[in-house]
Amino acid sequence: MLKKRIIPCLDIKDGRTVKGINFVGIRDAGDPIELAKNYVKQGADELVFLDITATIENRSTLIDLVKRIAKEINIPFTVGGGISSVEDVSKLIEAGADKVSINSSAVKRPELITEIAEKFGSQCVVVAIDTKYEDSEWKVFVNGGRKATGLNTVEWAQQVEAERSRRNSPNLNE
């Protein structure tokens, strides 16, 4: 039987943790560094940090905040938001991230999944899928859930898996 794991996700906007429902009604939820430290104390197995406006603001993830959080925690740390290149991933890994999560950039350029895996290993890349039920089917959204893509969620997940399988050759890091 698989072990249950607790993986809190900090949605970050303007350097603060925020909460909302279905990407709307966003409100301040506190200091991300203090929340990250509290999650570690409470026994979280991993932490996810998503800079939810980086893509729509056409900017990189808040690297300084990633560095500050990474210094305070000792659990695996996944970072997402505004990642569109292998260079972006390099900066985040150097700042203390263990993995990255991509969504909008994976939809825009699926080969980025393979590029990240080839450089850092397949364990380093997570493909997130924002999805909403519309017109009797689940559809993929990008830009923090704000923009419909027209992609069917299941078909997109299958395409992501095919990309993962393509990159899943032995010894990618050698």
Q: Which residues are catalytic?
A: 11, 130
Q: Residue for token digits 């704000």?
A: 146
In this structure, what are the phi and psi dihedrals at residue 8, rounded to the nearest 5 degrees?
-70, 150
E-assigned strands of 14-135? 16-21, 24-30, 47-51, 77-80, 99-102, 125-127, 130-134
**Rounded Cα–Cα distance for residues 46 and 141 (Å):** 25
107 burial level (CB within 10 Å; 0-12, 13-18, 19+):
buried
Q: How many residues does the chain have?
A: 174
